[in-house]
Amino acid sequence: MGRAFSLADCEAVGFDLDHTLCRYRLRESSQELTPAIIRSRRSYDTKGYISGNVTFCVNSSFPLNLQLVYASFAQYMVTEKGYDKELLDVPLESWDFCCKGLVLDMEDGNFLKLAQDGTVLRASHGTKHMTSEEILEKYGRKEWRHFKTMNGMVSRSAKYYVYDNYFDLPGALLCARIVDSLNHNSASQKFNFWKDMVAAIQHNYKTSAFKENCGTYFPEVKRNPEKYVQSCPESVKKWLRKLKNSGKILLLITSSHSDYCRLLCEHILGNDFAELFDIVITNALKPGFFSQPPNQRPFRTLENDEEQETLLSLDKPGWYSQGNSSHLYDLLKKMTGKLEPKVVYFGDSMHSDIFSAHHYSNWETVLILEELRGDSIMAPSETEAEPLGKKGKYEGHHPKSLYAISKQWGSFFVDTVSAAEDAAETLVKTWSCKCVSAYSTITIPSIESIADLPLDYRFTRFSSKNSITAGYFPKPPRSLSIHQPMATK
């Protein structure tokens, strides 16, 4: 692959949906919303579910839909699995715990922030911050014991879980608070709650949940989609049409089921959204869509949002469910008449989207990383002085970031470490930062940031021959750019 990357060189352009094309609203007014994070003790009905009005525990900088995700998991854990009702009451300051890139060590109930070499930079037991001395005693200065497996992007493990996208973060906070609760109630507690968390996820997000109005999340979003979901900016809608009119094949590949996908797309793009996409694939169950062989992951047709017959191959564009990237690529060959059509995929999950599309399918990848906006803020005079062709453009007011740097966890990109006692601290890259440059072609804060650029704009890609900040657009993370060069450990 060459140094420069351009959409003009791609025959097909694919998109994830949640936190990629679809962006969720933040809390921006003082009015009360219902229901979401449960603040106060309410009366419980005969099944243990909260009755009466339920109020939001609103945080001004944390997305409402993610507060709702927390509520959907917490209510299930309390009412179905018997966990402490205090989990339903979330103090506002608790949201600071949420940080992408954390790893849950299930055996110990510890959350870890890792350096690119696998050593532990920061840690907490539950939500309780661990001191440098406690980290040194527990983990030493050596590679964390599961790092080799995790670094290979092994997705399923009974030993750890990596929180790499925004839908994950409420689960991280809930798990940490569960550890706190178990410690409070038992001094010698084994942390075997993960199976219950999996049950909570399956209950709220099974494929039939939207249709059955099951759980907490889907019923609320169906009642109030405008409360949670932002319409795509006009610049993004025009950009999608420009891609389509230029002859690009547009793909939508999401793990969401077709009914939820339809609700979101109609709200963000309009009722005619399907005209924009040549191929829509729902319930893709990424990363399996990219990693599993075709015989294990066949495509299914859809009728009234219900999966129908199994397909041995894809013969034409349309709307499908499940499937695999191999059969999709065969169809793209037929549609383009090329032996190796070039595909780029936009997504927000390092594991499910970026690594998988890059590693298994050799696609170009564009990572949507909201943290880049929060770590790249420049003075107004500096941004206004730059030409549009260099910096891209955000139309209207700048959307608030989903993410502000966590006081507990620090920067997503870097952290400091002492090589020895009394030694000066050294800045090192995090494991998450290493993955960004290793598996994404370029990284941007949002699609809106490139929507006004010409399609033949030449981006500098991540490469070992370029600087560590080369692939970030429109601005590199300030924490990286002002500290070059830095230790690689």
Active site residues: 16, 18
Q: What is the 3-state secondary structure (H, E, C) of 106-159?
A: CCCCEEEEEECCCCEEEEEECCEECCHHHHHHHHCCCCCCCHHHHHCCCCCCCC
161 contact partners, CB below 8 Å, separation of at least 6: 103, 104, 106, 194
Alpha carbon of residue 42 to chain centroid: 32
Nearest CA-CA partner of 111 in 161, 145, 52, 147: 161
3-state secondary structure of 306: strand
312 contact partners, CB below 8 Å, separation of at least 6: 298
Surface-to-core class of residue 227, CB atoms within 10 Å of its CB (0-12 exposed, 13-18 middle, 19+ buried): middle
Cβ 125 vs Cβ 110: under 8 Å: yes
Nearest CA-CA partner of 177 in 100, 101, 80, 73: 73
Distance between CA atoms of residues 133 and 418, nearest Å:
12
Cβ 443 vs Cβ 366: under 8 Å: yes
Distance between CA atoms of residues 394 and 15, nearest Å:
20
Question: 82-101: string of b/e by CB count within 10 Å (b at 16+)?
Answer: ebbbebbbbeeebbbbbbbb
Which amino acid does the sequence have at 188?
Answer: S
Cβ 324 vs Cβ 333: under 8 Å: no
Whole-number Cα distances in Å, 357 to 223, 329, 372: 34, 12, 21
Take residue 274 and report the two structure tokens written for it: 């399907």
